[in-house]
């Protein structure tokens, strides 16, 4: 056991591997960063605002977590971060695309700005980071890419058309990338969370009964509940990501793993 930034870390199956996590400053991205560190990875934590990733860097130390600030929608900025990570930390073995935005609106009220920004981050951001990582991973014939999508990509949601469509695009992109990279040994998978206790989720709640409606369902919005009877914690999603980037998942690619407590009633 080694103490890093006051946190006990067991060097395990990801020891020595370099990972890049986008959207790492809070919520699921932060949980993924912590989970990867707990398994021994060295993590480049990327977010478009500095505070969260700088806190992680200060907690764990720069030998374990490095903070990077960039907008994933900016391809040149993403390429520069990947270059820096490979130059200073070593070959990138893991990419986890978590960065995402959600602004709800009925379709007839969606502005051009909402639509374009949603796709710029949720879809183009996944493309930018994955392309930069895939070029390098394919040459080395090794690596893992995981995109954190959403169960909304597979089931219609009222007032979430832009978000759901952008996540569906990111999901299919990741599967196509996995098909193209299969012979190189690079694996590409998707983790699709349902309702998860993050700031993004809480921003959707309008009263004290909102969490209960999420769990029990809301017929007025044509939404079923969560059979397991609980809202996910970010660590539930991070555990799924950690499994998919590990050697335990060495024969899994182009898979979409739903982590939603059964909410989408998938066959």
Catalytic residue IDs: 163
Token pair belonging to 133: 């990582």
Taking Cα atoms as reference points, which of 163, 148, 78, 70 lies closest to residue 118? 163
Distance of CA 61 to the CA centre of its chain: 22
The full 3-state SS of 205-229, as one line of letters, equals CCCCCHHHHHHHCEHHHCECCCCCC
The residue to which tokens 């309008």 are assigned: 206
DSSP-based helix, strand, coil % in the chain, nearest 5: 45, 20, 35
CA distance 179 to 253: 8
């Amino acid at each position: 056991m080694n103490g890093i930034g006051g946190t006990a870390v067991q060097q395990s199956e990801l020891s020595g591997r370099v990972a890049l996590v986008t959207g790492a400053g809070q919520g699921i991205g932060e949980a993924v960063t912590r989970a990867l560190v707990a398994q021994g990875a060295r993590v480049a934590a990327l977010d478009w605002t500095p505070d969260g990733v700088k806190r992680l860097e200060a907690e764990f130390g720069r030998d374990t977590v490095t903070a990077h600030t960039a907008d994933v929608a900016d391809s040149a900025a993403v390429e520069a971060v990947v270059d820096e990570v490979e130059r200073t930390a070593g070959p990138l073995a893991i990419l986890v695309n978590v960065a995402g935005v959600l602004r709800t609106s009925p379709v007839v009220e969606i502005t051009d700005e909402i639509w374009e920004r949603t796709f710029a981050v949720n879809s183009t951001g996944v493309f930018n980071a994955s392309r930069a990582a895939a070029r390098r991973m394919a040459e080395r014939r090794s690596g893992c890419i995981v995109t954190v999508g959403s169960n909304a990509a597979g089931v219609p949601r009222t007032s979430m058309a832009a978000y759901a469509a952008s996540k569906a695009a990111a999901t299919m992109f990741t599967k196509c990338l996995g098909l193209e990279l299969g012979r190189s040994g690079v694996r590409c998978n998707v983790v699709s969370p349902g309702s998860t206790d993050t700031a993004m989720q809480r921003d959707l709640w309008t009263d004290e009964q909102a969490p209960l409606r999420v769990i029990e369902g809301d017929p007025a919005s044509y939404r079923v509940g969560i059979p397991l009877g609980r809202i996910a914690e970010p660590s539930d999603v991070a555990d799924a990501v950690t499994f998919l980037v590990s050697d335990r998942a060495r024969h899994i690619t182009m898979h979409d793993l739903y982590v939603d407590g059964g909410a989408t009633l998938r066959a």
